[in-house]
Amino acid sequence: MTFNIHQQVFDRDGMPIEKKANQYTEQLVQLFEESPEGLALRSEVIEPGWTGMLLDFGTDYLGVTPPQMSPDDVREILFDLIPRKVSATADEAPEIIHELRAFWIFLQREFHLENATACLRVLNEQAVRELKKKMSDPATFGIAKSFVMMGMDRGFDLSSEEGINEWMATYNAEITAGAGLPIPLPGERSEQAQQFRNKLQPRTTRSKRKRKRQSK
């Protein structure tokens, strides 16, 4: 596959052109998965999945593809967007960093990106610890993620539309009856907000492919 990593996927206003951006992500992810770095992950029984999320967050939220990504962009994706939007458990932090490090090593080797070395410096053991902390703190969760994580903690199967609808009906009924706690706004520090977050205890079980439920 011939791939131009510098191709333009944004319009004149800097907004992603959906079809081009999707094709860019799909093709680059495929190249990575077929690369020595991607195959090495599979040999460790790790199926790549976070790479696509890095690319999606880059185009949708930051207006960048890998050649334009700065270390600060990588940090924003890791420590803000993933903890706020992705319904995943904190114990997946080492795998996230490990996969994204492999991806940037691939980009450095295959495309000789000048920013790869600086971005790789972000993906270290300190990043694992910081990401674990962020993903364990309900105060960092967005509204959609809080809704999903609370439903998971309550035992609802949110991998299906039926399970989502069942949890939504239950949640709405409890709020209407005054028996449930409303989901707080991000950063809200009221006593009620703290009570809600106290119910979202860190989960230790792995959810693997179900982890990728996100809300934009």
List pLDDT tens digits, range 117-130: 999 999 999 999 99
**pTM (whole model) above 0.85:** no
Residue of 162 and 20 predicted with greater confidence: 20
- Calculate the average pLDDT of the chain: 85
Angle formed by the axes of helices 93-111 and 36-43, nearest 10°: 160
pLDDT at 98 over 60: yes
Domain ranges of the chain: 18-137, 142-199
List CB contacts of 212: < 8 A, sequence separation 6 or more. 49, 53, 86, 87, 88
DSSP 87: -
List pLDDT tens digits, range 37-96: 999 999 997 877 899 999 999 999 999 999 999 999 999 999 999 988 887 888 999 999
